[in-house]
Amino acid sequence: MASIPALVEPAVLRWARRSIGLDTVAAARKIGVPDDRIEKWEAGDEQPTIAQLKSAATAYKRPLAVFFLAEPPQGFDAMRDFRRHDESDGEWSPELHGEYRRALLQRDNSLELFELDDALPSSSWIVSLPGGSDDDLARAARKKLLGATPVPLPTGSGGPYEHLNTWVSALEEAGVLVMATHGGKVKTREMRAFSLYFETMPVIMLNGADSARGRLFSLLHEYAHLLLHTGGLCDMIADTKATSIDRQLEARCNAIAASILMPAELVLRRPEVVARVNRQGTWDYEALRSAAAPFGTSAEAFLRRLVVLGRVSHEFYSARRPEFLATYEAEESRSKAGGGNWYRNQARDLGKGYVRHVADAHRRRVIDSYTAATYLNVKVGQIERLARTAAIQEPV
């Protein structure tokens, strides 16, 4: 039986491939055709079959119908000019392209559910203090978020996952869509987090391969971007010089995030800090880790906060930072478990607030089972258990 050719424009095929960052050979291998076939399709020398076009739609993460347009769409899911550090490769990986697109898709899904309910998302994440300092902004944001969160900050022996759960829940309650990259597909050296600024339902995507402490600081760093009406992709490189405009913005967001997570008055009251006034040389990794634990942050982030608060010098920080980072990274590597629970990972990656929103609409029959399963990327029979996993009391 002869294969049915798909009558598609070569320019549309070229646009779809480039939009996800694949070269022709990589695309051919994902689709399962000879290495030179993509070039022939895009030159108009050959046409894909319907079956091959369906494979291309899957590889390029595009609806099949898009390929039958007469020309490449204009402004259709166009990439923003995200901020990148000077050391970062300007090209996005196909995995990062896909996660960016998923963030926009999930936001569209959420907004559709609100529209079906004739309701509006919360906008309480917005904090406006005309003329106020960044410390004032951080103080007001912390008070507003923690005043409305359904999960209070942990006390005593609460670990980094409990702290992360509190702040994620607080931002979701305030109207921010929080999610994570799937299965560690995007490397942390390429992206620690990104944010998409919208007045209604902004988005923060964390890197699911990052540690809980890393995700926590990235979460508040991206929230600082939203407070400043900016969005972008960050690798969270610490830079005390901050000479370029982009680095100055990153340093500012780092400072706001640190101020939200580690208020000055609470840091300065820590017994480890009180005992080391004018004795910065006595700080070691164990002391920093102990002092940082009640805030859910890393020892390195706490040390950086001490620099800002004038308790240790820039020279001490620069000299000891590599040692503390190496110890922290080794510690995090030992604590990482392989695999994990699929439902928990799926709830984390989709975002627990998003899962609860979709599951609630399904329970109330606002949407049918097929739609709910499509929104959650699961089978219909998995919806109920995924919803239970995303319940407020579960750790992230």
87 within a domain of the structure (yes/no):
no
Same domain (yes/no): 323, 364 = no
C-alpha to C-alpha distance for 339 and 112, rounded to whole angstroms: 33
Same domain (yes/no): 23, 119 = no
Whether 107 and 128 have beta carbons less than 8 Å apart is answered as no
Q: Which residues pair with 232 in a beta bridge?
A: 195
206 three-class SS: strand
224 within a domain of the structure (yes/no):
yes
Same domain (yes/no): 36, 103 = no
11 Cβ contact list (under 8 Å, min separation 6): 71, 72
Q: Which residues pair with 179 in a beta bridge?
A: 205
C-alpha to C-alpha distance for 7 and 240, rounded to whole angstroms: 56
Same domain (yes/no): 261, 376 = no
**Could you report how far apart the first and last alpha carbons of the chain are, in Å?**
52
Whether 340 and 382 have beta carbons less than 8 Å apart is answered as no
Q: Give the model confidence (pLDDT) of 258-308 as tens digits.
A: 999 999 999 999 999 999 998 999 999 999 999 999 999 999 899 999 999
Domain count, the chain: 3
320 within a domain of the structure (yes/no):
yes
Please return the burial class of 290, using the count of CB atoms within 10 Å of its CB with bins 0-12, 13-18 and 19+. Answer: middle
C-alpha to C-alpha distance for 58 and 30, rounded to whole angstroms: 9
Helix axis angle, 299-308 relative to 245-261, nearest 10°?
100
272 within a domain of the structure (yes/no):
yes
Instruction: Say what the pLDDT of residue 65 is.
Output: 77
Q: Tell me the CATH number at 35.
A: 1.10.260.40
Same domain (yes/no): 135, 239 = yes
Same domain (yes/no): 267, 304 = yes
70 within a domain of the structure (yes/no):
no
83 within a domain of the structure (yes/no):
no
Same domain (yes/no): 190, 291 = yes
Same domain (yes/no): 306, 371 = no
169 within a domain of the structure (yes/no):
yes
Q: Which domain range does residue 123 map to?
A: 97-335
90 within a domain of the structure (yes/no):
no
Instruction: Say what the pLDDT of residue 233 is.
Output: 58
Same domain (yes/no): 331, 358 = no
Same domain (yes/no): 168, 232 = yes
Among 291, 319, 335, the domain boundary falls at 335
Instruction: Say what the pLDDT of residue 335 is.
Output: 60
Q: Give the model confidence (pLDDT) of 35-68 as tens digits.
A: 999 999 999 999 999 889 989 988 888 878 788 8
Same domain (yes/no): 107, 208 = yes
C-alpha to C-alpha distance for 273 and 240, rounded to whole angstroms: 22
Whether 208 and 179 have beta carbons less than 8 Å apart is answered as no
Same domain (yes/no): 53, 102 = no
What parts of the chain have a pLDDT lower than 70? 1-2, 74-90, 157, 231-246, 334-339, 393-396
